[in-house]
Amino acid sequence: MTVKKNKSKKPRQPYVLSKAKWQEILAEIMEGQSLNSICKREGMPKAATVYKALAKDPEKQKEYTLACDIRLETRLDEIIDIADDGSNDWMERKTKSGDVITVVDHEHVTRSKLRIEARQWEAAKLKPKKYGVPAQMVLVKDADEEGATAKPRSTEEIKAAIIELMAQSKAKKDK
């Protein structure tokens, strides 16, 4: 069986990302939207089209990077809004006796906590120097005479070192 090709169909033209559409995408990103959610909307280009445009144009790359930085700040601002919004933290329940009582809506509180943690995680991953968890200071023993690698001190050794430093500091003040 042979399949006839429809010769009347024109080859599909590549999508050209207009300046107006590009500005619309950037504005949505700065307002906190992801590129995927923007590109799923009717009338918007596919994400692959945007990525291709980014790969070809260094100016678009700079604009996109700036928009993503602004989106991060926008999403961080949302943390306070989410934390302060207690409007759905309580719900009314009807008891067996018919009384209506107000109880905590644990599902909403948990969802709010998750939304906050997701934004914190995103910030820590995208801007670790600015929003990451600071590295914990670990006191280590000095390398031995042969230059062996330093090893973490035990809790008791750390306490003893702190007491010794405090004593030395006090001795300097008393002089």
- To the nearest 10°, report the CA torsion of 105, 108, 112, 115: 160
Count up the domains in the chain and report the number: 2
- Residue 92 included in any domain: yes
- Show pLDDT as tens, one digit a residue, over the chain (175 residues): 566 665 666 666 666 789 999 999 999 999 999 999 999 999 999 999 999 999 999 999 999 999 999 999 999 999 999 999 999 899 999 999 999 999 999 999 999 999 999 999 999 999 988 888 776 655 555 555 555 566 667 778 888 888 888 888 888 777 6
CATH of the domain at 91: 1.10.10.60
Taking the model in full, what pTM does it have? 0.62
Q: Are residues 125 and 143 in the same domain?
A: no
E strand or H helix that includes residue 92: strand 90-94
Q: Are residues 60 and 105 in the same domain?
A: yes
- Residue 98 included in any domain: yes
- Residue pointed to by tokens 């700040």: 73
Q: Are residues 79 and 153 in the same domain?
A: no
For the chain, the first-to-last Cα distance in angstroms comes to: 104
- Residue 154 included in any domain: yes
- 23, 76, 71: which is closest to 50 by C-alpha? 23
